[in-house]
Chain A
Amino acid sequence: MSEVTMRVNGKSVSGQVENRTLLSTFLRDSLGLTGTHIGCDTSQCGACVIHVDGAAVKACTMLAVEAEGADVATIEGQANADGSLNVIQQAFQDHHGLQCGFCTPGMVMSAAALLKDNPRPSEAVIRKYLEGNLCRCTGYHNIVKAILAASGQSVDAIAAE
């Protein structure tokens, strides 16, 4: 067992973990941050995407001990300070970008990382970027639309497609 300390959503946290414990498991089981979801065991689905030191990371691809001292952001810390949905979250609701909600935290975290680097991505860029995030409900239509809208681009033409 090892002691691990990191900042998660702005708060310093620490815990005892086995060396083999994944960061995703630490977040869910030790910290109770169950918004980070586990949808596969091959790092394909992207339901566990979080930000580590500002970069999008699949939390199942890191050991908890590797995140020692890191600054971690999860879906639980994304809403505005007053609790309202942030721009991306709001766009997902406005454009029905989620159905069962299971892939949603990873989608929102990936979208946030994309828009940070590329504030006005094209449809093609968004689709390519989401290569590591699987959704089985939406056919991706409204997810891509929501991300376009969150970046301030008009989506009126899509509805009339």
Chain B
Amino acid sequence: MPKDSGIGVSQKRREDVRFLTGAGNYTDDINVRGQTHVHFLRSEVAHGRIDGIDTSAAAAMAGVVRVFTGADFEGVGGLPCGWQVTDRDNNPMQEPPHPILAQAKVRHVGDPIAAVVAETYEQARDAAEAIKVDITELPAIVNMQSALAEGSDKVHDDLTSNLCFDWCLGETDDAKVQAAFDEAAHVTTLELVNQRLVANPMEPRVAVGDYNRASDEHTLYTTSQNPHVIRLLMCAFVLGLPEHKVRVVAPDVGGGFGTKIFHYAEEAFCTFAAKECNRPVKWTASRTESFLSDAQGRDHVTKIELALDSSNNFTAIRTNTLANLGAYLSTFSSSVPTWLHGTLMAGNYKTPVIQVNVKAVFTNTVPVDAYRGAGRPEATFQLERAIDTAARELGLDPITLRRQNFITEFPYATPVALEYDTGNYHGTMDRLEAVADIGGFAARRAASEASGKLRGLGINCYIEACGIAPSNIVGMLGARAGLYDAATVRVNATGSISVLVGAHSHGQGHETVFPQVVADMIGIDESQVEIVHGDSAKIPFGMGTYGSRSLAVCGSAMVRATEKIINKAKKIAAHLLEASEADIELKDGVFSVAGTDKSVAWGDVTLTAYVPHNFPLEDLEPGLEETSFYDPANFTFPAGAYACEVEVDPETGQVSIERFCAADDFGNIVNPMIVDGQVHGGIGQGIGQALLENCAYDQDGQLVSGSFMDYAMPRADDVPFYAVDHSSQTPCTHNPLGVKGCGEAGAIGSPPAVVNAVIDGLHSANHGVKHIDMPVTPARVWEAMQG
């Protein structure tokens, strides 16, 4: 009989009921008694010197409580960067200050200059228009190459240049790398752009600051993926507040995709201003503000070279990348083009020599940081485009070339600092060939051609590193945070369980999945287990949710804590059953003495723990609550193979996605339905990057794609149904559930598959196009076809 609960079951999500009935509790749904509203006056120029700010007229307007400028924040810290990268000469990166409100200069369109706190949002907004700001506009630094040119204007006057760092990973001896290329039978070179994107979770960011003068306690409600991280950064680096006096609550959060990891100025502002005004202060971003203030993603310009020997084995990879950081260092910005990107450049392949070079650049644009995949999509895109190009240049089948170079023995130490614990790349490729019916492609191409369309097949493989870890290693690499997570399993007297977790659910379904694990381990009904998350006053210090880490890291902490619970419960059961602890077995929520009919139920044991009348008090403390902090031994390495089939209209250049198949290896799976959904969503975003989305600035640094009218989000009729398979499984070897991350895979694996498919389709009609940059718009395709 198939299992109907616990690990491996597609349990429907319990959180859905509140979301489907309008009963969710998102941050903008929270209104605190007596609250005021803040509106930020933001820079309309990309680069300028502030010569003066006159707030007198605004301050006198109806309903205005107070007007703040940068001068009010001279005594507090700036927003910190959580990762110090050291350059190829071991010097620390250039780290400019990031003020809450602009000090002396504005550095991107949207940089906050002043803030009006008023009784109503409309009054705040009206008053902000009355603030007079005297700005001398300076030349905008937008293009990365120009930013690095000798004599360029500087985004930050106190830095030596616009170069944040010049970083190298892998083989640092240039001569050795060059020798590998000199000996190559074939070298493929590709120059490409991984364009800037906007994460655009559907819920804009919101912050509500509340201050209790009686207790001197702050509460910040915020749209965050990691409330404890926000509390730590804001208290320790920005406002200088004691953590025990600050509570950060991230309630229902409407999607994150990375951009809600970071500590933002508006969070610190609302916390600070609530005390200054002695009134709660609420800020809700308009979508326009989201475009101008949410950290953006990607924005790499890369040259990749791939060397092959005469047997078509990969012998060397060399990349040179310019990575745009925007105007300031967002919280984890420096880690994205380095340790989350360069380390993935081996991909699924055994290439002996790899050198990754990255120059990170300040420009007068919105800061760039992690967006779904964060560095790994950029690595995968360039590598897989290069491999596909090599296959075409050499007249090889792209699947065969990939298979020939697959890593097949594990653990495998890459030349770029990672050790893959396990994987089976032929296994996922086998699944892909079956699910995608690669053998049937020729017939489908013929059918498309018969209707006047070009049809292309694009193959892509990816590997990613999830659940970033372990803390001591990432600390050596520059991380300024630990990367463990924590869970407290609190068993109530009557046997129900609250699991307090550091991970944060903003779409991932933790409220359903985590109880599946705990209930399965104990053998009780899932309805008896509930998780608590998102409130620093309730949960242990955990690092939150990003980088596909929740189940692999926090879930592992939860398993460890549950194991402690079971061990203690067995001791209590042994006492009650007058048996040896070693003889106690737990099955289906019942403790029994092996080989006898003596047993005691879960609920009797838990009640005994809290009403310890018949209890071994001399050996054991009463109660049943355990905490575990879990620091992973390694990353997890999900991997997979994707296939995309497109039709290209040769008349217009329009591309339509006809089929999309994904074969992923996520190790063991707790809830297949939710894993499918994660992959679907990632593919949707990846198709968005490949065909539609582009965060564009003009030469003056104006964001020209600053609304949903201009920034092409994927819509339902831009995408097909996806075929998703995860039956090829190599369980992670170092975490207790054997699970790997699944949240980012789709966004990493899909863009190269789409572009490879378009190029393949064009070649089928003898258009010798080598590459088209994303987004692959009809205009770009048409232009490429004109040769």
Interface residues of A, Cβ cutoff 8 Å to B: 18, 20, 28-29, 33-42, 44-45, 47, 74-76, 78-79, 85, 89, 92-94, 96, 98-105, 108, 123-124, 126-128, 130-131, 133-145, 158, 161
Contact = CB atoms under 8 A, between A and B. Distances in A.
B23 interface: yes
Contacts of B24: 34-35, 101-102
Contacts of A18: 122
Contacts of B17: 85, 93
Contact of A144 (B253, B257, B673, B721): B721
Contacts of B535: none
A104 B29 CA distance: 15
Contacts of B252: 100-101
Contact of A44 (B13, B26, B28, B709): B709
B682 interface: yes
Interface string B678-695: 001111110100000000
Contacts of B708: 40, 42, 44-45, 134
A5 B12 CA distance: 40
In the A-B complex, the 8 residue pairs with the closest CB atoms? A35-B22, A139-B684, A101-B19, A102-B254, A100-B507, A44-B708, A99-B507, A75-B22
Contact of B203 (A33, A39, A140, A145): A39
Given A93-B20, A139-B683, A99 B717 contact: no
- Which of the listed residues B24, B257, B723 has the most CB atoms from chain A within 10 Å of its own CB? B24
Given A92-B16, A102-B203, A105-B22, A41 B288 contact: yes
Interface in B709-724: 709, 713-717, 719, 721-723
Contact of B715 (A20, A33, A79, A131): A131
B160 interface: no
B202 A76 contact: no
A135 B31 CA distance: 26
9 contacts: A20-B122, A35-B22, A41-B287, A98-B19, A101-B19, A101-B24, A102-B24, A136-B200, A139-B685
Contacts of B15: 101
A10 to B, nearest CB: 15
- Which of the listed residues B18, B29, B715 has the most CB atoms from chain A within 10 Å of its own CB? B715
Contacts of A142: 677, 680
A94 B20 contact: no
A78 B22 CA distance: 9
B567 interface: no
B680 A141 contact: yes
B204 interface: yes
- Which of the listed residues A28, A123, A140, A143 has the most CB atoms from chain B within 10 Å of its own CB? A140
Interface of B: 12-13, 15-24, 26, 28-29, 31, 122, 200-204, 252-255, 257, 284, 286-288, 506-509, 673-674, 676-677, 680-685, 687, 707-709, 713-717, 719, 721-723, 746
B716 A131 contact: yes
Nearest to B682: A139
B701 to A, nearest CB: 22
A76 B681 contact: no
A108 B23 CA distance: 14
Given A28-B29, A39-B202, 6 more contacts: A41-B707, A85-B21, A131-B717, A135-B716, A136-B681, A139-B681
Nearest to B20: A89
Contacts of A131: 715-717
Contacts of A124: 717
Contacts of B715: 127, 130-131, 134, 140
A108 B284 CA distance: 24
A153 B285 CA distance: 40
Nearest to A34: B29
Given A42-B709, A139-B682, A37 B20 contact: no
B105 to A, nearest CB: 28
Contacts of B204: 38-39
Nearest to B12: A93
A3 B674 CA distance: 46
Contacts of A108: 20
Contacts of B677: 96, 99, 137-138, 141-142
Nearest to A99: B507
Contacts of B19: 98, 101, 104-105
Contacts of A35: 21-24
Contacts of B284: 38
Given A18-B122, A137-B681, A139-B685, A74 B722 contact: no
Contacts of A79: 21
A142 B674 CA distance: 11
Contact of B722 (A36, A96, A137, A141): A141
A100 B287 contact: no
Contacts of B255: 99-100, 102, 136-137
B16 A93 contact: yes
B716 A96 contact: no
Contacts of B680: 138-142
Given A136-B200, A142-B680, A98 B20 contact: yes
Contact of B506 (A20, A96, A100): A100
A67 B401 CA distance: 63
Contacts of B719: 139-141
A96 B288 contact: no
B414 to A, nearest CB: 30
A73 B715 CA distance: 25
B716 A126 contact: yes
A103 B254 CA distance: 8
Given A102-B202, A139-B684, A93 B722 contact: no
B28 A101 contact: no
Contacts of A33: 22
Contacts of B23: 35, 76
B4 to A, nearest CB: 15
B508 A99 contact: yes
Given A40-B707, A102-B255, A133-B716, A92 B201 contact: no
Contacts of B713: 44, 134, 136
Contacts of B16: 92-93, 98, 101
A94 B20 CA distance: 12
A94 B716 contact: no
B26 to A, nearest CB: 7
A46 to B, nearest CB: 9
Contacts of B287: 39-42, 45
Contact of A76 (B22, B286, B685, B709): B22
Contacts of B674: 96
A85 B21 CA distance: 8
A85 B724 CA distance: 28
Given A98-B16, A102-B254, A161 B723 contact: yes
A23 to B, nearest CB: 15
A136 B20 contact: no
B707 A37 contact: no
Contacts of B676: 96
B22 A34 contact: yes
Nearest to A139: B684
A124 B717 CA distance: 7
Nearest to B509: A99
Nearest to B25: A34
B201 A139 contact: no
B21 A75 contact: yes
A38 B26 CA distance: 11
B258 to A, nearest CB: 12
Contacts of A140: 680, 684, 714-716, 719
Contacts of A34: 22, 24, 26, 28-29
B652 to A, nearest CB: 19
